[in-house]
Each structure stands twice: as structure tokens, then as C-alpha cells.
């Protein structure tokens, strides 16, 4: 993380303590810019920092959003002076009733449904937007089938930026509405998500003012997920959990939670201690779980077929790094069927009053399976990341979430209905 003396510093950009882009594969460093692939080996670039002195007190006196950690993100010092969605610092709730059902001693749920557009994507998009402004972009863009589209359109609206969101034309009406309402440019593309993604890369190369959050500014964007790790540690009272379960789509989130924990240790904000990171996938799109089980360090792409659409990335870019984090910490990657996903959503809702989208069902159900398999230690403290809202995937549970009974409007009828249960 420390730069060598001859690393070129980007003197004209204010991206906080970010100092350079660094290749995850070969370590080559290159100045901060809108790049995502190493010019030497085409490996993924990530942000290298020279972190300033940061204390618990300085963080605690910050805003109740991800900007309390702005010194640890690739964003300008004045990031809060621009209108933004102010995401983050969502609830971490102690989940005793779910713990009892799962047979573990201590469990926490990080409930990221409280974000402005009700998924963790608000975090990464806010960081991407702040960096994109500094890098000279003026249009916020993404290919997406759901949460990311909502987050980009909302963040751009709030900032007064144009947005260009690309979606497959077959997308359900509800997902179109929840993006289109923000009034940016929403393009329905004839093709599947792979086609839309390819088109995004092409457009990013052609339009120099367009920042595709998960393409040409991806290194900045991805850093936003570190805040999930930071918040868990701070909200636990400035300490790391023993175990954490993270859903895996591209895999970026899991690696960034790991990175966030590591940075807090290095900065002396928490004590160093062993922790295990667990990945959660849907069986219908479980290339990382398969690689983990088979002992591979590469990912065999799959064609996704699962109701957990926000996790349905068949060729996850950060899959190998997920394997690294999980294996290094002694965790595991599990996977669950769509039926188990629905059960996971319902279990979390009825025990803790948190209604998660399908990705949350994946997390809960995978945690259950890993506990039963003895991989998650029931006596150690565990955190589950719930990263999106059940209101976004109502269809997954609508067949199961029915009225207990339909009754005439009399108290006698109610009594009889309840006694008859």
C-alpha cells in the first residue's frame, strides 16, 4: 500500500489520499486516471493510498454516511460540498432470534436496505460519482439490470448530472419504473445482459465525458464497498467480527470488505485478530463456490439460472480474489438453491423484521448451510451482509406470503379463524 518514492503523484487531481492506480496482478503503478486495466499486464487496477492519520474520534465526529470515512476513499476532501445521496452508515442489528433459529451464539445483520435506493450500490456509485467529477466526467452511466441502475439514476439526478443507463429491453416493468422515474436517459437495449455490458465498454471508449461506474471508473467505484467493512467494525465498537458472510456477484464486495478490515488494522483503528470471510452464491450461478469446492484458483464461467438476479454474474471478474480472501482467512464459499433462497428471505423477515431481496436470502440460507456443515463456528460471532431490499424482488416470495385467512368482518369470524389454525 506504500508507494515507492518514484511513483508519479497526480498533482492536479484531488482524490484524497489516493496516490496511484496499482495493478492487482503485477503491482505496476500508474497515475490516477480513468483506467481500469494495467497497461503492462491487463490485470485489474485498484487504488493505492498514502493514508493520513485517522482516529476513531475523527471518524465518529464525521457525518452519518460513508463520508465519515472520506479520508480512506478516493474522493476529494470537499466531497460533501457537492449534492450526493449521502449513503451508508446503515443499521447493524443484533439478531438474537435469527441466531437462535440458526443455532449460533451471536449474530449481527448489517441491513443495507436503509440506503437511499435501498441497496449497497448507493455506496459504490457515490464514490464513483465523486471521483468521476474530479476526473473530468459529466455523465454518469452503467449497464445494469436492477440495483445499480436505480443507484446511478438517483445519484445523477441528485447531483444534477445527466445519466445514461443501459438495460436489457426484456427487463420487467417495475425495474424500468424504479430507474426511469429519476428522469435520466434510460436505454432499453435489444439483447441480454452480456450484450448490454459489451455495449457499455464500447460506449465508454467513444464518449470521453461518460463515466461508466463499473467500467472506466471501476477502481474508484469498487472502493465504496470498503465502507461496509469499516461500518461493521465501527458499529461493533471498533473491533472485527470473527466471521462474516458476504454475497458474491462479481466478487468485488467480498474482497473490499476484507480490504477494509485490513486497513482498519493497519491504521490502528481496531486490534488485529483472525477473522474468516465466507462467500454466498445461488446454486444457479455458483462459479466461485464450484472453484472453491474443487480447489481451483481460476473460475469456470457459467450461464446463470437463478432468481437471485443481482448475483447472476456468470464470469465474476473478482472471483479469483474471492478465493484468495476466503482461503487466506480460513472461510468458505457456499451455495444454495432458489427454494433455499426464498426460505432464507422468509426466515430473516419473520425473525428480525428485515425484508431482503433475493441476494439477502442467498446470504442467510448459505450461512445456515455453512453452520450445519460445521464451517461457520456457532460459538464465534458472525455478521451477515444484507445488501438489498425485498421490495425489489417481490415476485420471489409472493407465492408464499399470503394472508393467514380471509374472514367476514366480525370479531366472531376472527376468533373462529384463529382457533382453527
Sites for a second copy among residues 296-335 (CB under 8 A): none
Three-class SS state of 25: coil
Q: Which is nearer to a second copy, 5 or 421 (CB)?
A: 421
- Give the three cell numbers for residue 214: 463499473
Q: Scanning residues 29 to 58, which ones bind a second copy (CB under 8 A)?
A: none
| Interaction mask 143-182, a second copy, x per CB under 8 A | ----------xxxxxxxx------x-x---xx-xxxxxxx
The residue length of the chain stands at 421
b/e map 211-232, b = 16+ CB within 10 Å: bbbbbbbbbbbbbbbbbbbbbb
Q: Scanning residues 329 to 388, which ones bind a second copy (CB under 8 A)?
A: 345-346, 349-355
State the nearest-atom distance from the C-beta of 216 to a second copy, in Å.
14
Q: Which is nearer to a second copy, 200 or 277 (CB)?
A: 200
Q: Scanning residues 80 to 99, which ones bind a second copy (CB under 8 A)?
A: 83, 85-86, 89, 91, 93-94, 96-97
Q: Which is nearer to a second copy, 200 or 244 (CB)?
A: 200
Three-class SS state of 13: coil
State the nearest-atom distance from the C-beta of 406 to a second copy, in Å.
4
Q: Is 196 in the site for a second copy (CB under 8 A)?
A: yes
Please report, to the nearest 10 degrees, the dihedral formed by the alpha carbons of residues 369, 375, 379, 380 taken in order.
-110
Size of the site for a second copy (CB under 8 A): 83
Task: Please tell me the distance from the alpha carbon of residue 173 to that of residue 182, in angstroms, as a whole number.
Answer: 15
Q: By the 8 A CB rule, do 71 and 52 touch?
A: yes
Distances (CA, A) of 6 to 9, 18, 119, 383: 9, 16, 40, 41
Task: Please tell me the distance from the alpha carbon of residue 221 to that of residue 215, in angstroms, as a whole number.
Answer: 9
> Interacting stretch for a second copy, rule CB under 8 A, among 50-58, 67-75, 310-318, 390-398?
390-398
- Give the three cell numbers for residue 29: 503503478
Q: Which is nearer to a second copy, 268 or 353 (CB)?
A: 353
Q: What residues form DSSP beta bridges with 381?
A: 106
Q: Is 64 in the site for a second copy (CB under 8 A)?
A: yes
State the nearest-atom distance from the C-beta of 115 to a second copy, in Å.
8
Q: What residues form DSSP beta bridges with 106?
A: 381
Q: Which member of 31, 43, 62, 191 binds a second copy (CB under 8 A)?
A: 191
State the nearest-atom distance from the C-beta of 246 to a second copy, in Å.
21
Q: Scanning residues 249 to 288, which ones bind a second copy (CB under 8 A)?
A: none
**Count of CA atoms in the C-beta half-sphere (13 A) of 351:** 20
DSSP 8-state secondary structure symbol assigned to residue 145: S
Residue 51 phi, psi dihedral angles, 5° rounding: -65, 140
Q: Is 132 in the site for a second copy (CB under 8 A)?
A: no
State the nearest-atom distance from the C-beta of 14 to a second copy, in Å.
22
Q: Is 191 left (phi over 0), alpha (psi -120 to 50) or beta?
A: left
State the nearest-atom distance from the C-beta of 188 to a second copy, in Å.
4
State the nearest-atom distance from the C-beta of 141 to a second copy, in Å.
11
Unique residue bearing C-alpha cell 454516511: 65
Q: By the 8 A CB rule, do 210 and 240 touch?
A: no
Q: Which member of 35, 50, 101, 195 binds a second copy (CB under 8 A)?
A: 195
Q: Which is nearer to a second copy, 371 or 397 (CB)?
A: 397
**Of 214, 282, 223, which is closest to residue 248 (Cα–Cα)?**
282
Q: Is 59 in the site for a second copy (CB under 8 A)?
A: no
> Interacting stretch for a second copy, rule CB under 8 A, among 238-246, 308-316, 319-327, 407-415?
407-415
- The 3 state secondary structure assigned to 331-382 is CCEEEECHHHHHHHHHHHHHHHCCCECHHHHHHHHHHHHHHHCCCCCCCCEE
State the nearest-atom distance from the C-beta of 173 to a second copy, in Å.
6
Q: Which is nearer to a second copy, 19 or 123 (CB)?
A: 123
Q: Which is nearer to a second copy, 157 or 383 (CB)?
A: 157
Q: Which member of 45, 140, 189, 365 binds a second copy (CB under 8 A)?
A: 189
Q: Which member of 245, 326, 376, 397 binds a second copy (CB under 8 A)?
A: 397
Q: Which is nearer to a second copy, 15 or 364 (CB)?
A: 364
Three-class SS state of 60: helix
Q: Is 394 in the site for a second copy (CB under 8 A)?
A: yes
Amino acid at each position: 500500500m506504500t508507494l515507492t518514492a518514484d511513483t508519479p503523484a497526480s498533482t492536479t487531481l484531488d482524490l484524497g489520499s489516493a496516490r496511484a492506480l496499482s495493478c492487482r496482478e503485477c503491482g505496476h503503478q500508474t497515475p490516477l486516471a480513468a483506467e481500469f486495466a494495467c497497461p503492462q499486464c491487463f490485470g485489474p487496477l485498484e487504488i493505492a493510498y498514502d493514508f493520513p492519520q485517522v482516529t476513531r474520534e475523527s471518524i465518529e465526529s464525521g457525518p452519518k454516511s460513508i463520508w465519515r470515512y472520506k479520508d480512506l476513499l478516493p474522493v476529494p476532501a470537499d466531497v460533501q460540498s457537492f449534492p450526493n445521496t449521502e449513503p451508508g452508515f446503515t443499521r447493524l442489528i443484533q439478531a438474537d432470534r435469527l441466531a437462535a433459529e440458526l443455532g449460533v451464539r451471536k449474530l449481527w445483520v448489517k441491513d443495507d436496505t436503509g440506503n437511499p435506493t435501498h441497496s449497497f450500490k448507493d455506496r459504490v456509485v457515490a464514490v464513483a460519482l465523486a471521483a468521476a467529477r474530479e476526473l473530468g466526467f459529466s455523465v454518469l452511466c452503467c449497464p445494469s439490470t436492477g440495483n445499480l441502475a436505480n443507484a446511478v439514476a438517483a445519484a445523477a439526478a441528485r447531483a444534477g448530472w445527466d445519466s445514461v443507463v443501459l438495460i436489457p429491453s426484456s427487463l420487467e416493468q417495475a425495474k424500468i419504473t424504479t430507474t426511469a422515474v429519476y428522469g435520466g436517459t434510460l436505454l432499453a437495449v435489444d439483447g441480454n445482459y452480456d450484450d448490454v455490458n459489451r455495449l457499455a465498454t464500447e460506449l465508454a471508449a467513444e464518449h470521453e465525458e461518460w463515466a461508466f461506474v463499473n467500467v472506466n471508473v471501476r477502481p474508484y467505484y469498487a472502493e465504496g464497498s470498503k465502507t461496509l467493512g469499516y461500518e461493521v467494525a465501527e458499529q461493533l465498537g471498533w473491533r472485527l467480527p470473527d466471521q462474516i458472510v458476504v454475497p458474491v456477484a462479481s466478487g468485488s464486495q467480498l474482497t473490499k470488505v476484507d480490504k477494509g478490515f485490513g486497513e482498519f488494522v493497519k491504521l490502528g483503528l481496531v486490534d488485529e485478530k483472525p477473522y474468516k470471510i465466507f462467500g454466498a452464491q445461488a446454486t444457479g450461478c455458483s462459479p466461485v463456490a464450484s472453484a472453491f469446492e474443487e480447489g481451483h484458483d481460476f473460475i469456470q464461467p457459467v450461464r446463470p439460472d437463478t432468481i437471485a438476479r443481482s448475483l447472476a454474474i456468470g464470469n465474476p471478474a473478482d472471483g479469483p480474489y474471492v478465493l484468495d480472501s476466503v482461503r487466506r482467512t480460513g472461510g468458505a464459499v457456499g451455495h444454495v438453491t432458489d427454494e433455499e433462497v426464498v426460505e432464507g428471505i422468509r426466515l430473516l423477515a419473520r425473525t428480525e423484521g428485515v425484508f431482503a431481496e433475493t441476494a439477502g436470502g442467498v446470504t442467510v440460507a448459505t450461512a445456515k448451510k455453512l453452520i450445519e456443515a460445521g464451517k461457520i463456528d456457532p460459538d464465534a460471532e458472525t455478521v451477515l451482509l444484507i445488501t438489498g431490499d425485498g421490495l425489489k424482488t417481490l415476485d420471489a416470495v409472493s407465492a408464499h406470503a399470503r394472508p393467514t385467512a380471509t374472514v367476514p368482518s366480525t370479531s366472531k369470524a376472527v376468533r373462529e379463524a384463529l382457533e382453527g389454525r
